[in-house]
Amino acid sequence: MKNKIIILVIILVGIFGWFSVKGIFWYKAQAAERKIIKTQNETIANIINSRRVEAPKEETDDLFGEDKIARVLLIGLDNRIGQKNGHCDAIQLITLDKNTDTITITAVPRGTYSSLPPGMGVTSSDYYVSNSCGLGGLEYGIKQIEKILGVKADYLVTVNFSETLGILRLLRLPTTETLQWLRNRHGYTIGEPQRARNHSTFIKQMLVKFVSAKMSKIDAALQYIVFKVIKTDLSFAQAQKLLDAVAAMDISNHPEKIKLTMKPFFYVADIVYDPEHITEYLDATLGPIRHLLSKNSFTGLSGESVQANLLAVIEKNKNNAEFTAWAWQNNLWLQIENDEMRLSVQYDLLNSHLQSLSDKKEREAVIADYILEMENRGELVWKEKARVNLAEELGYSKQ
């Protein structure tokens, strides 16, 4: 019996030793591949982290100047397919004043009179300041806006229709309904001025809700994602410094520090944006007159037919380089309501956009930003798809 046990032990040791030797050979054989994968992962991680890490703040760069005031002009652009210049659909000047520790939000109704470039304009409605951007270009439009305001803006932020939808989703607000609330002018007797005031009210509420002294260090990656959605002449570091200045005012506890004004002056009401009852409000203000509105009115954009038309346009033009470039620059996919369809279209447009970029570093940056966005959204499948693209861009084969 004892001999049998000894023999069994010898056999087991032999088998174990054989597998150990095989394991060692296998491990060594995979060493080169593991090294490549490790290098690949480290390279990708470094690129992603370079986009994620909070940019160093330029301590010597005083964004407020000698008067301790920073003026940020926010323009909502209505960019349509085929248009070189978008209309200035929403105009708000946000003035941060360190002297008084206050913020002033000044609305300019888009129907305010403005001169147009010589030879342009054939009807009275063409002389709206909104059209000064569309007909004369953004630079010309800004000059007209500054004439109305009586001051020059220090910084510019623009956001279009699609980008606004993206920001609303990031803030976890109802998208289509909120845009209807922001664009609603037909439901008010005074129309455009009240709509412009609603924009100011909305901005104030968002600042009070999302920028507090305790929240001043919001996740840098999420800040960066929002920053990449908008278009601005501010750097990311500068935008963060302005955000820190707002947070230092403790407006979440002192909303009275934010003042709302309008140029030119109109008597308007302060209507609270209430996302929980927004449908009821829209039904009450637009419901009775909905049948009188044109078919092109925004109130119809939430319908299935509009979504189908949008997808049809994207599908038809997916091989059109000019269209895909425009679609990427204007974040067109953000108008798609269905989550999976939106993610799929965004990924397709990403690949189309990459083909149009000749600079390797630029392509890497675009993919890295996409990966960072998917990571923060929790969309790990799409993150991994782009990670493979980035690996190939860096010269690694698929693993």
367 and 237 co-located in one domain: no
Q: In this structure, which amino acid lies at residue 205? A: Q
Each residue's pLDDT tens digit, 184-223 = 998 898 989 999 999 999 999 999 988 876 654 455 667 7
The larger pLDDT score, comparing residue 210 to residue 81, is at 210
Each residue's pLDDT tens digit, 380-395 = 999 999 998 888 888 8
245's tokens: 């200045």
HSE (side-chain half, CA atoms, 13 Å) at 389? 24
217 and 135 co-located in one domain: yes
**Hey, is 71 helix, strand or coil?**
strand
106 and 144 co-located in one domain: yes
Q: Is pLDDT of 352 > 60?
A: yes
Each residue's pLDDT tens digit, 102-154 = 999 999 999 999 888 777 666 666 788 988 888 888 888 899 999 999 999 99
HSE (side-chain half, CA atoms, 13 Å) at 211? 22
Q: Is pLDDT of 81 > 60?
A: no
CA-closest candidate to residue 328, choices 298, 353, 308, 364: 353
The answer as to whether 214 is a domain residue is yes
320 and 209 co-located in one domain: no
Q: Is pLDDT of 21 > 80?
A: no
CATH number of the domain residue 74 falls in: 3.40.630.190
258 and 137 co-located in one domain: yes
Q: What is the pLDDT of residue 16?
A: 45
DSSP string, 184-253: --TTSSS-HHHHHHHHHHHHHHHHHHH--STTTT--HHHHHHHHHHSEESS-HHHHHHHHHHHHHTTTTT
Domain count, the chain: 2
Measured on CA atoms in the order 123, 127, 131, 135, is the torsion positive or negative?
positive
Q: What is the pLDDT of residue 161?
A: 84
Q: What is the pLDDT of residue 132?
A: 86
217 and 254 co-located in one domain: yes
360 and 217 co-located in one domain: no
Using pLDDT thresholds of 50, 70 and 90, give the confidence band for residue 57.
Answer: very low
249 and 312 co-located in one domain: no
**Hey, is 282 helix, strand or coil?**
helix
Each residue's pLDDT tens digit, 224-233 = 778 888 888 8
- Between the alpha carbon of residue 347 and those of residues 8, 64, 144, 277, the distances in Å are 59, 39, 39, 34
Longest dimension (CA), the chain: 111
Q: What is the pLDDT of residue 91?
A: 97
Q: Is pLDDT of 180 > 60?
A: yes
Report percent pLDDT > 70 for the chain. 75
The answer as to whether 175 is a domain residue is no
Which range of residues forms the domain containing residue 314?
298-393
248 and 207 co-located in one domain: yes
- Mean of per-residue pLDDT scores for the chain: 81
Question: Comparing 12-16, 45-49, 286-290, which segment has the lowest mean pLDDT?
Answer: 12-16
CA-closest candidate to residue 364, choices 55, 54, 48: 48
Using pLDDT thresholds of 50, 70 and 90, give the confidence band for residue 42.
Answer: low
133 and 200 co-located in one domain: yes
216 and 336 co-located in one domain: no
* Torsions phi, psi for 97 (to 5 deg): -120, 110
118 and 165 co-located in one domain: yes
Q: What is the pLDDT of residue 38?
A: 58
Q: What is the pLDDT of residue 261?
A: 98
**Hey, is 157 helix, strand or coil?**
strand
